Structure 1
Amino acid sequence: MGKITARPHGLHKTLGLPQIVALYVGAVIGSGVLLIPGLAAEKAGPASILAWLLMSILVVPMAITMGLLSARYPSAGGVSTFVRNAYGDRFGNMVGWFFLLSVPMGAPILSVTGANYLAVLMNWGDTQTYAAAALILITVLSMNVLGMHVAARVQTVVVSLIITILILAVVAAMPHASTASFVPFAPNGWLSVIQAAGLLFWCFIGWEAVTHLSEEFVDPAKNAVRGVLWSAGIVALLYFSVAFMTVATHSYGIGISAASLSVMIQLTLGPVGGWIVAVTALFICIAAANAYVGAASRIAYALAQEGVAPRWFGILHPKYRTPVGGLLFLAICFTVVLGILYFGWIDLSRLIELPNASFIATYIGGCLAGVRLLRDSRIGRIASWTSLLFTMGLYPFLGWSALYPVVIVGISLLWERRKSATAAKG
């Protein structure tokens, strides 16, 4: 079966280059910018800035691969469409399920992270914190019901605020920077730089999410690649600037690394800096959740159109033409996951390992598709092979969570068998 295309009454093309860049930046700059710079500096010392530089370079081929594929195969199916065109329906459907079953856990993790930053300042208990997390998810779901033109406009404003606040944090920290903070440069040895680079990978996940919105791009052949290139530059510059100033001001160490951005900005702004970081955290989590919810609802729609997901996943809103079936599925999942977290049946640090594994599996699928579909493009070949080798090299180090995509494959095959059995009876 060929690539998924927009139906006559399908999804509307409403996303121009500014909205595409905003969605990419919002998807990639997640809660990692609040957490990882300090943890990486604690692991590798000042030499951690080399790890940031390395990752900023390595992420470019991954972004280019996704951008080139989106330009050639714009579809709500995103990476699953790329894999379907390269290797057939079965593997395309598996990758679609990888992404779809990542977001029901990933978005609640983001919402709880944002709510926790507010909870610290407001002295909230668990009930208030999880109520705030639920409100974040309800807001994001509502924006996506109204349509990507609304969600994308909100995303553009939110991402602009995030960039402004991060720049403020860097500028405010400059008077406190010292060359003495870079000595010794590699206190834990050079191997620690490689270990820090592995930690940083999680800050750069997100390029695959916006591929699912490519059917709604205005002029995807031009704007998809331009969007990822602009986004990769903005993301790399922001991350590196925050990481560099974290080291330069020595805003890390035992007990403070997880809040390094807050520590850094409070050097100049005092307690008000804590509020600035809390607001930043809230914006970041809303932006990332918005991008992923929009993407997941559309992959649900695409899988339903292909007949490999429940039919109601493909229901569109009669007025806004938005995938309300997929959004309903996500809303049900979010309720369950927030309940599991609230009652302490699993903690946040353990839960996050599952969507991480399926996101990496999605990337591997996309890179494999790029190897085949972009072989007529020199840049595409180089980008695809580079990102494929990088992601496959990382996968064995995921531990037990590497089994989660295997479980998803089992679910996909069971659904396929059920569908075949039903067809045979009919």
Structure 2
Amino acid sequence: MTSSHDAPAPGPAASRPGDTGRPPARMAGHLRLPGALALAITIVVGSGALVSPGIAYHQAGPSALYAWLVAAAVTVPLLIVFARLGADLPGAGGVAGFVQAGFGRTWAAGVEVLLLGTFGLGIPAIALTGGFYVQQIPGLHAVPAWAAALALLALAGTSVAIGGSVSSRIQIALALVMTAGLTAAAVLGLSGGDPAGHLPPAELSELTVGVMALGAVFFAFTGWEMLSFTTEEYANPRRDFPRVVVISFLTVTTLYVLLAWAVQTQLSEDDPKAASAPIHAVVSAVAPGLAWVVSVLGVLIIAANLVGAVWAASRLVMSSAREGLLPRPLARLSTAQGTPPRHAVAACVVVFGAMVLATLSDTLSLSVLLTVAGQNFFLLYLFSAAAYGRLRTGARRAFGAGTAVVLGLLALTFDPLHLAYALALLLTGYLVARRRQAPTASVPA
């Protein structure tokens, strides 16, 4: 991760491998608006869209629709922060890079460890969701979800390792298919029932019930913080990153509300299918003959989501290795087009695969993984807002500080054990960085 004052300016020399065949120092600037927008949609829309509508509905009943609307409203100021910071501070460090620019290396290290611990829960959850959808495909019911999840992780890692330019073209095609398919599923669910009769009552008490499901829902609005780790690869981050944030937010918010409304229209809140494959259950209720199409679409969505997630996670690992928090070999780039950090990609796939296997015990569940990861990502927005306020002046500083305070108050509604997990990760990184800096500080100039 590099701060804005020491990062080389984007340009031909920084965006392609050197002529000597040696690995370049920075990622290639190959992402333009279409590819960056496709990557944003496939990073954000994934297991959250496929599972969270059912989990929130189970927790809050019809009031769950309020959770989606509140999450979207809360996300707006956060995305303003991300759009500006991502444009001004492009780099593989993402959120940690923002914190480093605002509060220094020790706090950035804490955020890096928090991110690593969050990716370590969220990305395996995405893979497991894909495994459940694989089981819904005719003829594949006997395939263990964990085995399918490992296969999807391996495919995602391979796609990222072959190079960013190739991966972005794959993401464009997948983004078009998944957006069209999910929109069709939502419209089908709404047209096959009485959607107006399943709206939540317009009462403050119902709104409060919906807000209590914010932790489960917010995971579906995570992804832009992952996207921030790819800005080093933008050809023109200052121009394109804000555009990508705005367009992708409008697209996915509309899609989420339609899907959540369709789930509430077609399913009962205690339906067991609502907690594992709600979109599949919605289409099965209206058009049973098309259920297999939803299963295949679900697998494609998860595959696309995993490519984006592994892409972002590997950039975080690479950036942390550059800073010395992780082993230096993980920062090594290849000489392939897009200069992927293949060591970092491989490390991510191995760790995430191990977490998938850990869910075979009774100590972890898909719901827990999604909820904890979603709440941790929420805290990352808080840190970004604080960094924004620190780096700005006047009204923009007040905006950043105010946003951070509001997010802090909302975070108090999270499970105390989940908050303790996030705090332990943050302090671990902070203390490790402080300890490594101490000897250096004692050496006379």
State TM-score, norm by structure 2.
Answer: 0.85
Corresponding residue number in structure 2 for 1:220: 237
Alpha-carbon distance change, 376 to 308 in structure 1, aligned in 2, over 3 angstroms = farther
Do the aligned partners of 2:39 and 2:171 also contact (CA within 8 Å) in 1? yes
| 2:170 counterpart of 1:142 | no
| 2:86 counterpart of 1:84 | no
AA matched with 1:328: A
* Cα drift, residue 332 of structure 1: 2.8
* Cα drift, residue 408 of structure 1: 2.3
Alpha-carbon distance change, 422 to 334 in structure 1, aligned in 2, over 3 angstroms = farther
| 2:384 counterpart of 1:366 | yes
Structure 1 range deviating more: 215-224 or 151-160? 151-160
Do the aligned partners of 1:79 and 1:211 also contact (CA within 8 Å) in 2? yes
Corresponding residue number in structure 1 for 2:226: 209
Matches within 5 A, 1:45-56: 45-56=61-72
Cα distance in structure 1, aligned partners of 2:200 and 2:391: 47
Q: Give aligned-pair identity as a percent.
A: 26
Corresponding residue number in structure 1 for 2:360: 342
Cα distance in structure 2, aligned partners of 1:13 and 1:29: 24
Q: How many residues align?
A: 420
Alpha-carbon distance change, 405 to 179 in structure 1, aligned in 2, over 3 angstroms = closer
Corresponding residue number in structure 2 for 1:100: 116
| 2:120 counterpart of 1:111 | no
Cα distance in structure 1, aligned partners of 2:299 and 2:352: 18
| 2:295 counterpart of 1:263 | no
Alpha-carbon distance change, 307 to 244 in structure 1, aligned in 2, over 3 angstroms = same
* Cα drift, residue 393 of structure 1: 2.0
| 2:344 counterpart of 1:326 | yes
Do the aligned partners of 1:181 and 1:250 also contact (CA within 8 Å) in 2? no
Deviations 1:92-146 (A, max 9, x none): 22212221332233222211111112224446457x4322211111111111111
* Cα drift, residue 286 of structure 1: 1.9
Do the aligned partners of 1:169 and 1:261 also contact (CA within 8 Å) in 2? yes
Do the aligned partners of 1:357 and 1:398 also contact (CA within 8 Å) in 2? no
Deviations 1:298-332 (A, max 9, x none): 12222222223211121111334211232132133
Secondary structure of 2:224's counterpart equals: coil
* Cα drift, residue 257 of structure 1: 2.9
Cα distance in structure 1, aligned partners of 2:119 and 2:224: 14
Q: Unaligned stretches of 5+ in structure 1?
A: none
AA matched with 1:218: A
Q: Unaligned stretches of 5+ in structure 2?
A: 15-23
* Cα drift, residue 229 of structure 1: 0.4
Corresponding residue number in structure 2 for 1:131: 147
Cα distance in structure 2, aligned partners of 1:387 and 1:150: 38
Corresponding residue number in structure 1 for 2:197: 181
| 2:258 counterpart of 1:241 | yes
* Cα drift, residue 184 of structure 1: 7.5
Alpha-carbon distance change, 422 to 288 in structure 1, aligned in 2, over 3 angstroms = same
| 2:324 counterpart of 1:307 | yes
- Provide the alpha-carbon RMSD of the alignment: 2.9
Secondary structure of 1:101's counterpart equals: helix
AA matched with 2:349: A
Do the aligned partners of 1:308 and 1:416 also contact (CA within 8 Å) in 2? no
Structure 1 range deviating more: 168-177 or 37-46? 37-46
Among 262, 266, 270, the residue aligned to 1:254: 270
AA matched with 2:263: T
State TM-score, norm by structure 1.
Answer: 0.88
AA matched with 1:158: L
Cα distance in structure 2, aligned partners of 1:94 and 1:310: 16
AA matched with 2:325: V
Secondary structure of 1:105's counterpart equals: helix
Do the aligned partners of 2:200 and 2:206 also contact (CA within 8 Å) in 1? no
Do the aligned partners of 1:357 and 1:404 also contact (CA within 8 Å) in 2? no
AA matched with 1:84: Q
Alpha-carbon distance change, 36 to 355 in structure 1, aligned in 2, over 3 angstroms = closer
Matches within 5 A, 1:148-167: 148-167=164-183
Corresponding residue number in structure 2 for 1:15: 31
| 2:313 counterpart of 1:296 | yes
Secondary structure of 2:269's counterpart equals: coil
Do the aligned partners of 1:41 and 1:48 also contact (CA within 8 Å) in 2? yes
Cα distance in structure 1, aligned partners of 2:440 and 2:346: 25
Do the aligned partners of 2:318 and 2:344 also contact (CA within 8 Å) in 1? yes
